[in-house]
Amino acid sequence: MTRFKVRKKLRKACVKVKYVALETLGMGQASVSRAGSRLGVRASLKLVGMKPFIRVLTLGSTTVLGLSVVAGSAHATTFTLTSPTSGGTLGNGFTPVGGIVLDLIGQNNTRVTSQLAANQLYIGYANNNPLTIGTQTGFNSSVISALGGGIKEAAIRFSLYDGDSASGDFDFNDNTLQVNGLNFGNWSSVNAENTDDQGNAASGGLSSGGFRNETLDTGWFYSNNATLLTNLYNSFVNTQKVVYQVQDIDPYDNYYDFTQGVSSNFTNVGQGPAVQPSNPVPEPITILGSLAAGSFGVALRRKYNKQEQKETAKV
């Protein structure tokens, strides 16, 4: 192992010790008032040697939670809630950041979505290769049959702090995503966006490829490759689950925590596979039939009104 990787490993171990110690306090989250002392915040950070992402501080006798040391005001982003599939925007119930979101478009255009909660994902140094991040169950026969015999598009969203797979990072082009044992793409090829713990766009912007060092990034893997998706569909039929893994060319050199930097309000949010019906375009004959029925109804109404006027005149 090189000196660089040894230093990286030691630094991450120190960061994790601090993070676990803070999480053990078992405190909730609150916002930091702008009226708070910036000098006090900076001094506290410098004193304990913590990175700005740490969410719990003590300023005098006041415990401050949910700290955001990002210049400017946060603003909402649509990137994390918009799938690259033809399905587009995710429905209700999905968190803007955290967990693993799966979006499938079946051969019949039916959409199947799910979210594996962040608190069910891997935390720790990689101890296997491939390393299992998490497993989504619930792909029973009714869900699978709803896809119309196959998958046309698939997208998977991940949120990861300190992924180290962007250009210049030590795991650049080293890691691939494995889904049920199938190669779903290079982590360094995914365009990921930096957000705060609530999913608001943060100062880091888009990575242009990879999950960056000491940054909370969220990005989408995508594929419409017919061979890959046929094999993925068959794996659903055989196992009725999805296993997400990281395959590393030089394993055991990185620490993974798929909950770090994500609001505690989001870490336990998840939902099993849900089927959303397709919205097919009506056939031309159906459209013509509907227009004809509408015209017939209008004609009957006019005839009725004329008859009613005649009866009134007689009286």
DSSP per-residue codes, 3-25: HHHHHHHHHHHHHHHHHHHHHTT
- Percentage with pLDDT > 70 across the chain: 63
Which whole number is the average pLDDT over 224-252? 97
pLDDT category, 91, cuts 50, 70, 90?
Answer: confident
Helix, strand, coil fractions of the chain, as percent rounded to 5: 30, 30, 40
pLDDT of amino acid 5 = 55
pLDDT of amino acid 149 = 97
CA 41 – CA 145 distance, rounded (Å):
55
Residue predicted with more confidence, 14 or 161 = 161
Residue predicted with more confidence, 290 or 85 = 85
CA 162 – CA 19 distance, rounded (Å):
13
- CA-closest candidate to residue 215, choices 188, 228, 196, 240: 196
Look at residue 74 and tell me whether its pLDDT is greater than 90.
no
Q: Is 241 helix (H, G, I), strand (E, B) or coil?
A: strand
The two three-digit tokens of residue 195, written as one number: 């957000």
Residue 21 φ/ψ, nearest 5 degrees: -60, -40
Q: Write the DSSP assignment of 138-180 as a string of letters.
A: ---HHHHHTTTTSEEEEEEEEEEES---STTSTTTTTEEEEET
CA 210 – CA 173 distance, rounded (Å):
9
Look at residue 278 and tell me whether its pLDDT is greater than 90.
no
Instruction: Tell me if the pTM is above 0.75.
Output: no
pLDDT category, 313, cuts 50, 70, 90?
Answer: low
Q: Which long-range contacts (CB under 8 A, 24 or more apart) does 8-17 make?
A: 8/164, 8/170, 8/253, 9/125, 9/253, 9/255, 12/162, 12/254, 12/255, 13/255, 15/51, 16/255, 16/257
Compute the half-sphere exposure of residue 193: CA atoms within 13 Å on the CB side of its CA. Answer: 20
271-276, strands of its sheet edge to edge: 75-76, 200-206, 192-195, 216-223, 151-161, 100-106, 111-116, 271-276
Look at residue 3 and tell me whether its pLDDT is greater than 90.
no
- Specify burial of residue 241 (Cβ count, 10 A radius: 0-12, 13-18, 19+): middle
- Percentage with pLDDT > 90 across the chain: 62
pLDDT of amino acid 32 = 33
Look at residue 50 and tell me whether its pLDDT is greater than 50.
no
> For residue 109, is it left (φ>0), alpha (ψ between -120 and 50) or beta?
left
* Mean pLDDT value across the chain: 78
Look at residue 177 and tell me whether its pLDDT is greater than 70.
yes
Report the range of poorest mean pLDDT among 18-22, 110-114, 244-248. 18-22
CA 137 – CA 116 distance, rounded (Å):
9
